[in-house]
A and B are shown apart, each in its own frame.
Chain A
Amino acid sequence: MIKILIYVFLAGIFTENFVLSKFLGICPFLGVSKKLDTAVGMSAAVTFVMVLATAVTWPIYRFILEPLHLEFLQTVAFILIIASLVQLLEIVLRKFMPPLYNSLGIFLPLITTNCAVLGVTTLVLDRTINGEVISFLPALVNAFSGGLGFFLAMVLFAGIRQKLETCDIPKCLRGIPITLVAASLLAVSFLGFQGIVDGLIK
């Protein structure tokens, strides 16, 4: 069990990084990664919502939708759960934790339409390790490490983009094109992690 948790944790950060190998959450990755502090705020909010969303959607799918054969409602149900969860979180944070709200609050409405959150809750349902569908605890760890992987990619990329600003770049490559090329190089470095955690569960 511990082995599986460690495996899921490391895989989520390195080999199955949401941004750089699964292409989920590219919009915030490109849009909010210009400055380090906003990148940190956004990824903290994403990690928070990912774990919460998995904690709610996983039991709902396994104990309500599946026994009643309502699997086709999955997409509608999940997106509504995530949207209302984000709203609820915003209200609760504003009321009880103003400092946290001030640092994460502005990112919360953006997270509803972040495909990484819907992706992490959907993908984990079919995820198998050694032929077994993973249970609730690994699912939560999966969400948490997915968030951390997002965090790592965002912070690394924010650093790269700050360096890029001082570079002399050909006119037509300025802005988005060079950002994408930089993301490509970052993805190459993450390819290097391929296979390093697979040995853990063999």
Chain B
Amino acid sequence: MAKDPKQKSYLREFHKGIIVENPVFRLMLGTCPTLAVTTAAFNGLGMGAAATLVLIGSNVVISLLRNVIPDKVRIAAYITIIAGFVSIIQLFVKAYVPDIDKSLGIFLPLIVVNCVILGRAEMYASKNSVGLSALDGLGMGIGFTLALVVMASIREIIGAGTLTLLPNLVIPVTINLWSPMIIFILPPGGFFVYGMLVAIVNKITVKKGKVPKSELGCGGCPMASSCSRANQGECGNE
């Protein structure tokens, strides 16, 4: 986020979400779907697209209503707005792309509690204008999608030896050369690849002279502002 509000250019708001503040690798938001759906490149793309649409919609509506919603009930109001958009997307996906609905399963309705969306509502859309919020949603959504596709491609190539770009377009990469390491598409592989990617991103940011993301601070928590222990390090007693 820009320190001086005057410097918020539209372009900056859009591209910061893709690299500098990538929700998955830098802000550590939305870890559950990141780990769960990245078993095939196409799943990552589908999840990313669905989340991006919800994110843009909820950011715009929350930004429009930011002066109307009373402060005390804002989290409940945000969740309701987000749940509405998720239901819309869910019905669309079920009707037009049943393949994605099948492979995402439970994680499609779970976009409601995806920290990326509630986090952006709380941290950004509730404080900024509609145009900026829409761009922030689009940038964050693209960053989220990119991260998912990168991670899904790595896991699929190592774990299954293929690359699924569309449900009926599966490119054999290494499957004909050696047998794949199936553990990479199982849960342990998810944690491992994620850890390695965060380490690489940390290494790059250190080289650029920035502070690496080493701890899960309260910044990523959507409940931080209503939490009595925010910014005291951990959620528990110190």
A residues whose Cβ falls under 8 Å from a Cβ of B: 20-27, 30-32, 34-35, 37-38, 41-42, 72-76, 79-80, 83, 106-107, 109-110, 112-115, 118-119, 122-123, 171-181, 183-185, 187-188, 190-191
Q: Is B196 an interface residue (CB 8 A)?
A: yes
How big is the B interface, by class?
35 or more
Does B164 count as interface, using CB distance less than 8 angstroms? no
Is B86 among interface residues, defined by CB-CB distance under 8 A?
yes
| Cβ < 8 Å to A, chain B residues 63-87 | 75-76, 79-80, 83-84, 86-87
Query: How long is the Cα–Cα vector from A160 to B168 in the complex, in angstroms?
Result: 43
Q: Across the interface, name the chain B residue whose C-beta is closest to A116.
A: B32
A175 contact from B83, B118, B213, Cβ within 8 A: B213
Dominant SS at the A interface?
helix
A112 and B236 in contact, given A23-B36, A74-B109, A174-B214 (Cβ under 8 angstroms): no
CB–CB A180/B191 < 8 A = yes
| Pairs A-B, 9 closest by C-beta atoms | A38-B236, A180-B195, A175-B214, A184-B191, A23-B36, A177-B199, A184-B192, A187-B188, A172-B203
* A83 near B79: Cβ-Cβ < 8 Å: yes
Indicate whether B235 reaches chain A with its CB closer than 8 angstroms. Answer: yes
Q: Which residues of B contact A22 (CB under 8 A)?
A: 36
Cross-interface CB contact of A42 among B106, B196, B202, B235, cutoff 8 Å: B235
A83-B79, A119-B110, A177-B199 in contact; A27/B234 too (CB < 8 A)?
no
- Interface readout for B219-238 with A: 1 if CB under 8 Å, 0 if not? 00111001111000011110
12 sampled A-B residue pairs with Cβ under 8 A: A23-B35, A26-B32, A35-B234, A75-B86, A75-B112, A76-B84, A80-B76, A112-B113, A115-B113, A172-B203, A172-B206, A183-B191
Task: Choose among B80, B214, B227 the residue that contacts A109 (Cβ–Cβ < 8 A).
Answer: B227
Closest to B118 in A: A113
Residue of A31, A80, A178 with most partner-chain B CB within 10 A:
A31
Nearest neighbor of B202 in chain A, beta-carbon distance: A172
| Chain B residues, Cβ within 8 Å of A38 | 234-237
Shortest distance from the beta carbon of A198 to any chain B beta carbon, whole Å:
17
The residue in chain A whose Cβ has the minimal distance to the Cβ of B111 is A75
Cβ of B143 within 8 Å of any chain A Cβ, yes or no, is: no
Chain A residues closer than 8 Å to B79, beta-carbon distance: 79-80, 83, 112-113
B180 contacts A by Cβ under 8 Å:
no
B31 lies within 8 A of A27 (CB): yes
A192 smallest CB distance to B (angstroms) = 11
A79 proximity list for chain B (CB < 8 A): 79-80, 83, 112-113
